[in-house]
């Protein structure tokens, strides 16, 4: 399959469905013959590339800029990059998107109440109990994109519908062929 390098940046609250969509999107793109594809998952990046950073605004911004730097290197070399990261601050996402250029922002949108219901890691419960400070969506802000390229409403649509929306947009933008 012919494709161009692009970063597909999935942003949203913890529990919104970013990782689930990323995994399904990766599977779909690979089934279509996209071999030059890499996934940068926020949790895995924090364990390796940005280990030692905390959760202050400055550290979060540094984390996103580092992920963006790696995504940019891969994108300019013809790789489809799937980034799954909360990336709570709009200004830094926009900065990274401008630097990368070939950038598709996907807002994985689910209400906070739904994200809390899906809380498989128990993070919201700990944040509500005061055991975790500066938790995005509870006592630290999440700034949704003003104009995302794609919005996936994971409380209202199926996983297949969300993945289909992203694939359709990538086709219409000429990043992948249909």
Q: Is 17 annotated as belonging to a binding site?
A: yes
* Residue showing tokens 């940046």: 9
* Residue showing tokens 């550290």: 59
Q: Is 68 annotated as belonging to a binding site?
A: no
Q: Is 18 annotated as belonging to a binding site?
A: yes
- Spatial distance between the Cα atoms of 10 and 18, rounded to a whole number of angstroms: 6
- Spatial distance between the Cα atoms of 150 and 21, rounded to a whole number of angstroms: 13
Q: Is 27 annotated as belonging to a binding site?
A: no
Is 87 a known active-site residue?
yes
Q: Is 113 annotated as belonging to a binding site?
A: no
Active-site residue, from 87, 113, 162, 177:
87
- Spatial distance between the Cα atoms of 32 and 25, rounded to a whole number of angstroms: 11
Q: Is 16 annotated as belonging to a binding site?
A: yes
Residue ranges at the known binding site for ATP = 12-19
Catalytic residues: 87
Residue ranges at the known binding site = 12-19
């Amino acid at each position: 399959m012919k494709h161009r390098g692009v970063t597909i940046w999935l942003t949203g609250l913890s529990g919104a469905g970013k990782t689930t969509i990323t995994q399904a999107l990766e599977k779909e793109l690979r089934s279509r013959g996209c071999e030059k594809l890499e996934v940068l998952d926020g949790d895995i990046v924090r364990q390796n590339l940005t280990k030692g950073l905390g959760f202050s605004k400055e550290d979060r911004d540094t984390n996103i800029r580092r992920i963006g730097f790696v995504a940019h290197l891969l994108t300019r070399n013809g790789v489809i990059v799937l980034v799954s990261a909360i990336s709570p601050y709009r200004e830094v996402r926009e900065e990274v998107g401008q630097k990368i250029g070939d950038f598709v922002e996907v807002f994985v949108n689910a209400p906070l109440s739904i994200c809390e219901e899906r809380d498989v890691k128990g993070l919201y419960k700990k944040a509500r109990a005061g055991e975790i400070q500066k938790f995005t969506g509870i006592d630290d802000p999440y700034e949704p994109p003003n104009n995302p390229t794609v919005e996936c409403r994971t409380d209202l649509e199926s996983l297949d519908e969300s993945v289909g929306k992203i694939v359709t947009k990538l086709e219409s933008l000429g990043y992948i062929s249909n």
